[in-house]
Structure formats: structure tokens, C-alpha cells
Amino acid sequence: MANYDIDLVVTSAPHIRDKVTTTSIMRDVIISLIPALIGSIFIFGIRALIVVLVSVVSSVLAEVVGNVLFHKKPSLNDLSASVTGLLLAMTLPPSSPWWMVVVGAFSGILLGKMIFGGIGSNPFNPALVGRAVLMVSWPKQMTTWIKPFSAFNQPLDAITTATPLNIVKLQGYAQLISEFGTKANLYKALFLGTVGGSLGETSALLLLIGGIYLIAKKVIDWKIPVIYIATVFLLSPLFGRDPIFSILAGGLFLGAFFMATDYSSSPITPLGKVYYAIFIGFLTVLIRQIGAYPEGVMFSILLGNGVSPYFDKIMPRVYGVSPKKEVAK
């Protein structure tokens, strides 16, 4: 009988291998955010760069601390901590003090990710967890916005301003139009990003470029962002809101392409993604209309994260199986 010297490797399913890795996915996300990152620095100046650097470095340090505290293997090579820090920075005002950014980064990594087992196990988007902690802890600093300016003009001063959503919430849509002159001017400002707001939410154009890149690279599925944005567009008139303004203002594009599509905290089934996108779209419009905060993207996505496993259970009826047997399963 022949003597074979072969090492057998026994692994669990699935046995299909792919060149796509966590690192390559995170690298694509970073590349997709470069336009918005450059735009934020151009619009808000050096303060934007400082917030981004502090957030990324703090997130990486928080990952190191989390690996030690929870006895995890080093996981910095997958770039997930850097992505979390970059996304968190994109949700923060350019006037955010450095210490607050550090708290947000550590909260997002430790409370939103490491405590659940690390990457792939987090039920909520870590960047949004960090932002939620900051929002409830320091609401004044999180709602202090500065006027945008060109990087080639005078240095940034301390003049504060209100975001378009804040103006609509407190003074009404007519006041917003009067400040911009016409609807066309308002749409243009929102599309290009020459308005007050968080670092990565002002320019719908730059976020759209990054989102299209992710879809083209098949990093994300088009269903969640497209259906999410379409839901907000279609439901806004029912609440007396301008649909174009509703999709261009605030963090909708940032949330739709970069937050709601997080692998670990969003549904994986095609039908589940559809229901999930409609659900968070409805919540976004509802919170903007009747909530205490003018923006509803963060809370709607976090609430959607919490129930996303239930959306995955909404499956088409299996052919040849009775409903009673499906329920029994």
C-alpha cells in the first residue's frame, strides 16, 4: 500500500476562497472618503485636519487598549480602527475640542466594537456609537458649527453659524430660503458643501463620488443607500418638507453610503436590506420632523442596527414548504 505524505487541512464551511479581505475592504472605504476629507479641509481649514488626525490616532490607540483588556490578538493590520476613526471625524463639527474627539474614539472602539468581540461581532456601527456618546454628553459642543470658508481666503475665525436643518427646525423653511436667496442657491450650497455642518456631511457631491466608488468596487450593495435615500425623498413631502432639501441636507449621504452599509450591523439578505433601508429612511424623516434634534440619521441607523437581525428573518416563502413548517423552523 502506497505511503502518502500529505498534510490534510480540515476546515469548516464555507470552503470558497476569495481575494477580498477585510484589509482590502477597509482600504477601499478609506479611498472612497478621500474626496470628502479633502473637501472638509478645503472648506473648514486646518481644524478639520486636526479633528481627523486626533480621531484616527485615538481609534488606533483604543484598539490597542481593547486588545489588551479583552485578550484579543493584535488587529491593527485590518485598518478597521482607522476607518472607524475617519468616519467618526466625518460626523463631528470642525470646532470639536481634541479631548472630546478622544473620548468619542475610545467610546466607539471599546463600547461599540471590542466589548462585543471585535470586528465582525459588533451589532452597532462603532463610529455612530462614539458620536452618540458625545451627543448626549456634550450637546453644546456637538451642535456648535462654524461658517465654511475657502482655504485660500482669510484664516478661520470663531464666527458660528447654524446648519440648514437647524434653521428649518427653529425658524422654518422660509427663513432658510431668505438666507440663500433662492431654492437653487440653497441646493447648490448643499450639493457643493458650502454650508455649516459636520466635516463629512456638508458636500453631497463628494460623498456621492465616494459612494459610487464603493458600489462600483462591489464593497457595498446599492440597495441600502439607494432605497434609504429614495425613502427619505418620497416620505418628506408627506411631512411638508422639501424632498430635495431633505436628501441633500445633513448627514444622509454620509449615513447612507458609509454607516448604514456596515457589514456587521446591517442585514445580509437581499430582502432584509430592503426592509432595513425603508425602516431607517422612515425613522430619519420622522425624527427630523418631531424629534428634539434637527437631524435623525444617527439615531435611525442605530435603531436599525438593533433590529437588523429580524429583517434577515423575513425570507421569501420556500417553495414546497407549508407556512406551518416554516414557522416551526
Report pLDDT digits (tens) over 214-246: 999 999 999 999 999 999 999 999 988 999 999
Show the domains of the chain with their CATH numbers.
Answer: 22-312 (1.10.3430)
**Helix-helix angle 173-180:183-192, to 10 degrees:** 80
156 pLDDT higher than 50: no
Each residue of 15-70: pLDDT tens digit? 445 567 888 899 999 999 999 999 999 888 888 999 999 999 999 999 999 988 88
Distance CA 270, CA 275 (A): 9
- Residue 148: φ, ψ to 5°: -70, 155
* Whole-angstrom distance, CA of residue 37 vs CA of residue 193: 12
Task: Tell me the C-alpha distance between 213 and 227, whole Å.
Answer: 17
Question: Residue range 311-325: average pLDDT?
Answer: 66
Q: What is the pLDDT of residue 98?
A: 93
Mean pLDDT comparison of 11-15, 192-196, 226-230, highest-scoring range = 226-230
Predicted local distance difference test score (pLDDT) of residue 56: 96
Strand partners, 160: 146
Question: To which residue does cell 470658508 refer?
Answer: 149
Where is pLDDT greater, at 144 or 134? Answer: 134
Which set of grid coordinates corresponds to residue 63? 484598539
How large is the average pLDDT for residues 310-314? 87
Is pLDDT of 180 > 90? no
User: Helix, strand, coil proportions of the chain in percent (round to 5)?
Assistant: 65, 0, 35
Average pLDDT over residues 249-272: 92
DSSP string of 189-253? Answer: HHHHT-SSS-TTTS-HHHHHHHHHHHHHTTSS-SHHHHHHHHHHHHHGGGGT--HHHHHHSTTHH
Q: How confident is the model at residue 78 (pLDDT cuts 50, 70, 90)?
A: confident
- On average, the pLDDT of the chain sits at 85
The pLDDT-based confidence of 301 (bands split at 50, 70, 90) is very high
Give the CB-side neighbour count of residue 19, counting CA atoms within 13 A. Answer: 1
Q: Is the dihedral of CA 158, 180, 162, 129 positive or negative?
A: negative
Does the structure show a pLDDT above 80 at 152? no
